[in-house]
């Protein structure tokens, strides 16, 4: 009942948060120079044609009225149409968002599997050589631009060694993709039993997942190590050591008390990478939602950008709710 009550209180604030996010995004996009009518009709359009198109798009209204019209459409789940693709934004995002989620989720799983163990090892090593190596890795990974690191991996593993597929999309053009069920090529290939497509999709995922995973392991590593350091110096850890408990037991208890901080940084990274992985998507021609939104900004196509922000905001709110529920499970103080 406590969990249900907590979820209910959180859901009350979901709608105002989404409206506020859309309002800020809408106003910021309106400040960007560029006229959608000119972009759509081209530089040789007549004044009459531009005026007629602005009227059709509602650009002759005040900004507040334009936002009100857009918000009314959003309530009816009409996110408008992209003039670049001539498709509804909901259809475009349904095709592209699963690609981004697949990439980001696998990358964070890799980052978590690297960052947490290294953070624990570094915290337990104190001033040893292993601690220095872990710190150097965290410093190096945190200072590398992800798009540059992706280009280096392409040069090494594709150009020189030739052990991965060409970095052109999610699957080779010669491979028949599986029927779309979830939008994830991995899951859809398993559902349809298309093992050739599964192997090819995994090959295309190797480099972008390595790029994001190795770099984003750094903040997880640093958070794990710093929190573990504090927990190992805490009174309960010192008392456990005085009682003769093995070091691995003390470390396990310290790690459990460090989990809330680690889970928090992972949830923040997940929300950040939904839009922050756009440069990696461009490098690998991934065709994800972030790349779609950036193209919308560059071409004054506002509906894709607003739709992407709405989808990302909803996903982030869901992630934060899940994180809070995990807190309930691992931290008795929250119950």
State whether residue 43 is helix, strand or coil.
Answer: coil
Minimum mean pLDDT range among 50-59, 98-107, 260-269, 300-309: 50-59
Read off the pLDDT of residues 157-197 as tens digits, 9 standing for 90 and up: 999 998 988 888 888 888 888 888 888 899 999 999 999 99
- Decide: residue 126, CB within 10 A, 0-12 exposed, 13-18 middle, 19+ buried: exposed
- Beta strands (DSSP E) in the chain are none
Rounded CA gap, 62 and 174, in Å? 50
Determine how many CB atoms are found less than 10 A away from the CB of residue 22: 18
Residue 334 is predicted with a pLDDT of: 59
Is residue 52 predicted with pLDDT exceeding 90? Answer: no
State whether residue 150 is helix, strand or coil.
Answer: helix
| Helix ranges (DSSP H) in 126-194 | 129-143, 146-154, 185-192
Mean pLDDT for the stretch of residues 68-89: 87
Residue of 99, 115, 293 whose CA lies nearest to 213: 115
State whether residue 211 is helix, strand or coil.
Answer: helix
Cβ(94)–Cβ(87) under 8 Å? no
Determine how many CB atoms are found less than 10 A away from the CB of residue 273: 23
Residue 329 is predicted with a pLDDT of: 72
Is residue 331 predicted with pLDDT exceeding 70? Answer: no
Residue of 18, 30, 8 whose CA lies nearest to 74: 18
Read off the pLDDT of residues 190-245 as tens digits, 9 standing for 90 and up: 999 999 999 999 999 999 999 999 999 999 999 999 898 888 888 888 888 888 88
Residue 151 is predicted with a pLDDT of: 93
Cβ(108)–Cβ(218) under 8 Å? no
Residue 53 is predicted with a pLDDT of: 79
Read off the pLDDT of residues 83-133 as tens digits, 9 standing for 90 and up: 888 889 999 998 899 999 999 999 999 999 999 999 888 888 877 788 888
Is residue 155 predicted with pLDDT exceeding 90? Answer: yes
pTM of the shown model: 0.85
Residue 110 is predicted with a pLDDT of: 94
Cβ(275)–Cβ(290) under 8 Å? yes
Residue 50 is predicted with a pLDDT of: 80
| Helix ranges (DSSP H) in 193-288 | 195-233, 235-242, 247-276, 278-283
Query: Domains of the chain, with CATH numbers?
Result: 97-292 (1.10.3720.10)
When pLDDT is cut at 50, 70 and 90, the band that residue 335 belongs to is: low
Rounded CA gap, 76 and 223, in Å? 42
User: Dihedrals φ, ψ of 208, to 5°?
Assistant: -65, -35
State whether residue 173 is helix, strand or coil.
Answer: coil
Mean pLDDT, rounded, of the chain: 86
Residue of 260, 302, 266, 296 whose CA lies nearest to 278: 296
User: Dihedrals φ, ψ of 13, to 5°?
Assistant: -95, 0
State whether residue 308 is helix, strand or coil.
Answer: helix
Mean pLDDT for the stretch of residues 280-293: 88
CA dihedral 303, 306, 308, 311 (to 10 degrees): -120
Tokens for 45, please give them. Answer: 């359009």
**Which residues lie across from 88 on neighbouring strands?**
81
Cβ(138)–Cβ(218) under 8 Å? yes
Minimum mean pLDDT range among 78-82, 115-119, 330-334: 330-334
Residue of 196, 194, 173, 209 whose CA lies nearest to 100: 209
Cβ(213)–Cβ(110) under 8 Å? yes
């Amino acid at each position: 009942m406590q969990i249900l009550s907590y979820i209910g209180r959180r859901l009350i604030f979901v709608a105002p948060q989404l409206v506020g996010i859309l309002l800020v995004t809408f106003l910021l996009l309106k400040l960007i120079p560029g006229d959608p009518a000119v972009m759509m009709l081209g530089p040789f359009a007549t004044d009459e044609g531009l005026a007629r198109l602005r009227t059709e798009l509602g650009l002759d209204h005040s900004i507040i009225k334009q936002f009100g019209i857009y918000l009314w459409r959003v309530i009816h789940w009409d996110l408008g149409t992209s003039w670049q693709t001539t498709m509804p934004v909901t259809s475009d995002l349904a095709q592209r968002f699963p690609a981004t989620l697949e990439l980001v989720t696998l990358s964070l799983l890799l980052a978590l599997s690297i960052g947490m163990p290294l953070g624990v090892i570094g915290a337990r090593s104190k001033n040893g050589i292993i601690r220095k190596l872990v710190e150097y890795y965290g410093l190096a990974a945190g200072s590398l631009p992800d798009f540059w690191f992706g280009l280096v991996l392409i040069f090494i593993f594709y150009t020189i060694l030739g052990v991965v597929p060409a970095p052109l999309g999610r699957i080779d053009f010669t491979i028949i993709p599986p029927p779309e069920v979830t939008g994830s090529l991995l899951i859809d290939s398993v559902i349809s039993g298309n093992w050739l497509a599964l192997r090819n999709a995994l090959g295309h995922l190797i480099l972008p997942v390595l790029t994001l995973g190795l770099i984003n392991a750094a903040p997880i590593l640093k958070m794990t190590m710093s929190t573990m350091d504090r927990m190992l110096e805490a009174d309960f850890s010192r008392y456990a050591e005085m009682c003769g408990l093995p070091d691995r037991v003390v470390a396990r208890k310290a790690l459990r008390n460090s989990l809330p901080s680690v889970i928090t940084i992972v949830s923040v990274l997940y929300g950040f990478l939904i839009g922050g992985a756009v440069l990696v998507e461009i490098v690998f021609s991934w065709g994800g939602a972030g790349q779609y939104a950036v193209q919308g900004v560059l071409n004054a196509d506002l509906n894709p950008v607003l739709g992407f922000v709405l989808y990302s905001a909803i996903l982030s709110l869901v992630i934060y709710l899940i994180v809070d529920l995990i807190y309930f499970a691992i931290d008795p103080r929250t119950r």
